[in-house]
A and B are shown apart, each in its own frame.
Chain A
Amino acid sequence: GQNIDQPTEMTATEGAIVQINCTYQTSGFNGLFWYQQHAGEAPTFLSYNVLDGLEEKGRFSSFLSRSKGYSYLLLKELQMKDSASYLCAVRVMEYGNKLVFGAGTILRVKS
């Protein structure tokens, strides 16, 4: 089976740092993706991890531990526009683009 868990909602303050966790149990693993989705809009790609460790991209960083089935997305210097749903997804095929998504974490940034 495929199971991806993320917190349902989080609230943080503008300028702060927030960490969104994702744990997964999937039959197959070939990369983990984080997407951001604003209400009524398309998911937009944030980060991709296939090897253990930290990937940094500006204010966003993503970490992966394959042995623990765990990832997190770190958002620094939060801005109001970061209020959105953050989706964790695992690519479960060795070849192919089948992504299994978590339910998403709604992040609310308050001033």
Chain B
Amino acid sequence: KAGVTQTPRYLIKTRGQQVTLSCSPISGHRSVSWYQQTPGQGLQFLFEYFSETQRNKGNFPGRFSGRQFSNSRSEMNVSTLELGDSALYLCASSLDPSGNIQYFGAGTRLSVL
């Protein structure tokens, strides 16, 4: 069974640009959550999607957005990139939001120059 797949693995962007990250959950998993990991702040929750609806949102500015498609794949978008957005962005999937274990992908490492 394939795990959570995130693409691309690495990205380099400049300030002001926008970026879209992709996440394909484990087959059969319908809940997808996104996290930002930085050395200073650790892992921080961005948002969660289930059945194409955003169910929970963390404390990030509106520049961070996402969506989920009918096949449960999810994308995350960051607009007007800032230097502080440089981080590892992790996607996690679970069967549903009822407390099941979340399984993480390898992440997308974003560098903003």
Contacts and interface: CB of A to CB of B under 8 A. Distances in A.
Contacts of B106: 41-42
Nearest to A41: B106
Say which size band chain B's interface belongs to: 20 to 34
Given A30-B99, A45-B103, A97 B31 contact: yes
Tell me whether chain A's interface is mostly helix, strand or loop, or mixed.
loop
A44 B104 contact: yes
B111 to A, nearest CB: 14
A110 interface: no
Nearest to A43: B104
Interface in B1-57: 4, 31, 33, 35, 42-45, 48, 55-56
Interface stretch (A17-25, A75-83, A101-109): A101-109
A101 B102 contact: no
B45 A95 contact: no
